Every structure is written in structure tokens, then in C-alpha cells.
Structure 1
Amino acid sequence: MALRNQRIWQYIDEVARVGSVRQAAERLNVTPSALLRRIQDVEHDLNAIIFERHSSGVRLTAAGEVLIGWIRLQTSELRRVYSQIEELEGLQRGEVRIACSQAVARSFVLRHITNFRKQHPNVKFKVAVTDHSTAVRSLMEYEMDLVLIFRPLRSLELHPIMSIGQGLVAVMAADHPLAKNDILRLRQCAEYEVAMPDIAFGGREIVESRLLSSSAKLNVAVEANSFDFLGELVASSNLITFQIDIGADTWRHDPRYAVRRISDIDRTYGPLVLGQLKGRPLPLVAAKFAEQMARDLNDCRSLPTIPGGEDWSGEEEEDVEDIGLEK
């Protein structure tokens, strides 16, 4: 693909994403008529219509779907070429695109981006904090290079670079009646009102599945899609919320909170997966960032302490994979 054609591919991609020639033109700072002419030129060259009109804008035709897949693949490959060229300049430029769970965004990913940019200040980052299914979909659509997500759905497209076990912890106010215990059972937590993330979050799925066969039931007083909101809420109330071990680091260092491990008997464990799209080589800068995170993740495993606990996740843990860099 000639580099001079890169702009029109960007134009077509933007129209496909927003579903409107006018809105795409505003974002691209071109006139709608000029954008439409460029699209018509491509349709003429292909001898196929790539967009069809509907009441609220435009959508891709079958031919357009084929073209947009090719465009995104070529754009991804071109980014990798740029990255390899930048390697010759000592990793001075480039962009890392990562989709991650809220649990790891607020501390782990934030810390790693800060540290990475200290060494490579001209590297840019694009971070999407989202749920696990959306994160995997963003890999498949070449919108992201990496994901770091808890309990992703099984997908043939997701290739794990590293997977580590993570247990749940209960988070509550420092003066909560249960704070006097070092380890809690889920049934103890169920005696109090809880503040929970919505069902799209892996931790919520684990807690509810473990209580299905129990007489104890959660009394969900508040549901929210923000862990920061839930944290502030439990700090000033008698509510309890739950988080994976690695996601509770900020609260552990805040005197307003008590963070207590859930007993291994309740088997509230799952895999935290750092992954990439299967079969797609990572750009150099993204591979370097993945290597940095993988080394740290290796020290963040939550390991069961009861006999037989090694089977908690149903998933095999994977060590750092060779991603083309020195380990």
C-alpha cells in the first residue's frame, strides 16, 4: 500500500466508525463534498459501492465490509513498519494502544505507563478502560494492540502473553464490623448490604456464581460501573464491595479502608490475562511495554493457601512468552 493512499483509507475508516459522511468530515476537518468525492473515487476504482445510505446516515455494504477489514489490517501492519523503523532511532517514537479492566487501570497500568514514559518520553499511549468482551473485540478490529483483562471470555482470537491468578478481596470502611477479621467468607459479607459493579465485570460474576448453591444471598444496595465510585461509597458507609487483589492496591494504602482476603474455601479466583491478537506481530514499542508489564505481573499472582487450591481457575497460567525481545 503506497503511503500516499493512507489518508483516504483513514477517511473511509472514520466514515465507517461514525456512520455519517458529515460527522466524519467534521472530525477530519474536510468538507463533506470533498470527502464524498474521495469515497466515490475509491468506489469507481473498485467498481463496487462501499457505503449505502439509510435514514440516519450511511453503513457499509458487503463490499465495504471486505474493504474496511483490509484497511484496518494494512493500517496495523503499517504501524508495525513505522515501529521497526523507529527501533533504529532508539525507540524514540511510537504509540501503545491498550484496552484494560477498571481494576488494573487505576493503579497497575497507570504506574507502568508513567514508568515507561520516563524512559521513552515521546511514546504516546491510547488507553481504553472497558469490559472484557469489548476489549477482545477491539483487538479483533485492530483498534488496540494489547489487552489486560480479568476473566476474559474464551476466544480463539485472543493470544495470552501471560496469565496470572487473581483472588477477590472484600473492601470496606476501616471501622466496619468485619474489618477485625484477616480473612472473610462470602457468607459473612452477605450479612451486610453490598455495593457491586454491574454484571459485565468478572468479579461480580464470580461472587454470584459462588453463592448460587448457598443459602446466603447478596443484598445489593448499590450497583455502579465505576470502582472509584464504589470505593468512595464504602469508605463512608457500612457497605462492602469486592475487587481483585491487584486492583485493591490504592485502597490498601488509604487509612479509610480495610481490605480483607476472601477465604480460599470460597474459590473466588480467576485469571488476569495480558494478551494480543493471535497471529498479529506487535509493533516494537507495544511489545516492549508488554514485556515490562509481564515481568511485574509475575510477582502479582494470588495463590491459594488451601490444599488442592491450584485448580481454582480452570485455566492454565502462562509464563512470559517470547515476543521478540530480550527477556
Structure 2
Amino acid sequence: MKFHLVPRPLLYVEAVAEHGSVQAASRALGIAASAIDRHIKALEEVNRAPLFERHPRGMRPTAAGEAVVVLARRWNTDAERLETDLQEIRGQEGGSVRLAAMDSLANGMLEELHDWLLSTHPNIRLTVEIMAPSEAARQLDEGTVEVVMAFNLPRLRHQHVVWSDKLRFGCIVAPGHPLARTSTTSLAQVNGHALVAQSTLLPTRQYLDDRFAWFFDENAPVMASNSIQLLKGALRKGAVAMITSELDALPELSRGDLLFLPLSDKGLAAPTISVVIDARRSLSRAARRVSEFLVARTQQRLVEARAKPISRTDI
């Protein structure tokens, strides 16, 4: 249905922007490269503006091209919303939901959401885009996603906050780590222990660097990454610690695989986790189910993790 509602030139511009070249877009769409190139050049002639910078190693959207990509994504989302609305009018449960979330949720809330949809609402199709909070807020405002779950979302005029809660900063370690002897800790106590850390490009690390630059100057991480899953794998081996929020390891904390030691340092502002929708657009039944599940299950997992006693076995 989406293919018939969205103009082909918009689909082709979006595909080239995503894949980096006409040839790559051709392979992804199963459409001849000459046809894609012809439609893009026709669109450039009509609008009297180049849509791509053409380089030997690929193509990059210009400002005009980015505007067309946004239009294409919005049109795609509107087509999916229409399909969902028509299914609901016919009394059928199904449709598509576009969710923007963070990498730290990938093997926690998002896995549980997928399992729940598959078992209870198999006709709902979920598209998850992993992105930074600022980008998630922008795409919600542009109408290319319907639900956002992220830290410290920038507040925009048309956002409606479905749910929000404050999280704790702390030190995450394996049960056998020396720091696990106490139920709380401080940066001074963590000082000198081997660390892994989030990449300096990620919001949590940027906040910590701004407030406590001395700590990372004195304790250069043995590994930094923008993959929370990679960092948690290192933590489970027991030799390193990580300073972050409790949500980054919620499934592991709930199971007791990792421990969370709240930081007692003054001056730490609690990060906020929120589930947000666009107040200007009516939410489909499918999107409502997704947002309600995320809120209920996250609240449940936070309660479980915070109630988990610290195990001192073998310490």
C-alpha cells in the first residue's frame, strides 16, 4: 500500500540518501539504477536545486536533498498511519508503529516489547530507530516517528509526555567486583579502579564529563564505546566498573547479573527517562498499545532492580 501512496521520486531520494549511492539504492529496491537516476535528475530540474553532492565514493544529500528526505519519511509514516487507521475502521487489529529509542534499551525494553507484540499482537508491525535524544525529538516533531523513549529529551512545543521518571546515576559492577562490598559508592571510591565508559559522543558521558571532568582525566577508560551491549559484556566479566544510569543495565540488574551502586556525590542531577508522543496527531490504537507497554514494563523493571539486594557471595 505504501508504494502506491508515496511518489516514486521520494522513495528513490530516500533510498539513495540511506544507502549512499544510486547503485546501492538500486540493489536495495530492486529497481534499475538508470530509472532511479532519471527520477532524481527530473526532480532536481523541476526544483532547480541539486539534491545530492556527487562524490567518487558516493552521494550525500544537500540541504535541499535533506528536505526531500524528511518529506519522504513523513509521507511514508502518513501512509502507514492511514493503513493502520483503515484496519482499525474495519475492526482489525494491526498496522505499523514507528518508535525512536536509545541503544541502551535494545536488549531490555525493546526485546520485551518485541516478544510481547509477537505473542499478543502479532499483526502490529514495529519499526525501531536507534538514535540520540535530540534526533528523536526532531523526528517526532517532523512526524517521521510516532513514539519516543529516551533520556533527557529536549522539550518541544508539541510534545505530550505520556510518562516520565527520574533515574539514578551510579556505578555498575559484577557481583564479584571489589566495589560490590558496599551498597553505595562515590567517585572518590571508584577512583583507581579499571573503567569502561560510554563514548564521549553520548549524552550521559557528555554530562559526566561536564560535571566531573577530573574523574575521567584521572581514570582513562580501558574501553569506550557507543555500544551499551558491548560495555555490559565487559562488565559481566567482573574486572571493570562503569559510571552511568540504572536504565542502561536494567535487565541485568533485575536478574542480579550486575549490581548498581548509587553515587553519593553531590551535584549529580538525575537523568530523566520519558515516553513521548506528538500532541498534534491522533495516536493509533497500535501506537497506544506500544507506549502503554513501554511505560508499564519500565516501571515494573525499575521497581524490581531497585528492590534487588546486593549479593556479597564470594566477597
Does TM, normalized by the shorter one, top 0.5?
Answer: yes
Corresponding letter in the other structure for 1:33:
S
Deviation string for 1:219-275 (max 9, x for gaps)? 422212222222222333432113422333332355653332223745351111222
Q: CA RMSD in A?
A: 3.5
Structure 2 counterparts to residues 134-145 of structure 1, below 5 A = 134-140=135-141, 142-145=143-146
Corresponding letter in the other structure for 2:55:
S
Aligned to 1:36: 37
1:116 aligns with 2:88: no
Q: CA deviation at 1:29?
A: 0.5
Structure 1's 219 and 28: CA in aligned 2 closer, same or farther, altered over 3 A? closer
Aligned to 1:244: 245
Q: Distance in 2 between matches of 1:5 and 1:37?
A: 20
Structure 1's 17 and 225: CA in aligned 2 closer, same or farther, altered over 3 A? closer
Aligned to 1:128: 129
Higher mean C-alpha displacement, 89-98 vs 101-110:
89-98
**Structure with more helix by fraction:** 2
Could you list the runs of 5+ residues in structure 2 that have no partner in the other structure? 304-315
Corresponding letter in the other structure for 1:119:
T
Q: Distance in 2 between matches of 1:215 and 1:129?
A: 26
Q: Distance in 1 between matches of 2:241 and 2:247?
A: 18
In structure 2, the residue corresponding to 1:199 is in which secondary structure?
A: coil
Could you list the runs of 5+ residues in structure 1 that have no partner in the other structure? 303-327
Aligned to 1:171: 172
Q: Distance in 1 between matches of 2:201 and 2:226?
A: 9
In structure 2, the residue corresponding to 1:220 is in which secondary structure?
A: coil
Aligned to 1:55: 55
Aligned to 2:25: 24
Aligned to 1:10: 11
Deviation string for 1:109-168 (max 9, x for gaps)? 221232133221122222233332343344455543322111234555755332211112
Deviation string for 1:19-74 (max 9, x for gaps)? 53332222111112223344456567x46456466334556566655554444333
Corresponding letter in the other structure for 2:152:
R
Corresponding letter in the other structure for 1:136:
A
In structure 1, the residue corresponding to 2:113 is in which secondary structure?
A: helix
TM-score (norm 2): 0.78
Higher mean C-alpha displacement, 274-283 vs 229-238:
274-283
Aligned to 2:287: 286
Corresponding letter in the other structure for 1:249:
L
Q: Distance in 2 between matches of 1:219 and 1:64?
A: 41
How many residue pairs get aligned? The number is 300
Q: Distance in 1 between matches of 2:217 and 2:55?
A: 51
Q: Distance in 1 between matches of 2:246 and 2:216?
A: 26
Aligned to 1:234: 235
Percent identity (aligned): 21
In structure 2, the residue corresponding to 1:106 is in which secondary structure?
A: coil
- Check the 8 A contact 1:193/1:221 in 2, yes or no: yes
- Check the 8 A contact 1:190/1:216 in 2, yes or no: no
Q: Distance in 2 between matches of 1:187 and 1:220?
A: 16
Q: CA deviation at 1:77?
A: 2.1
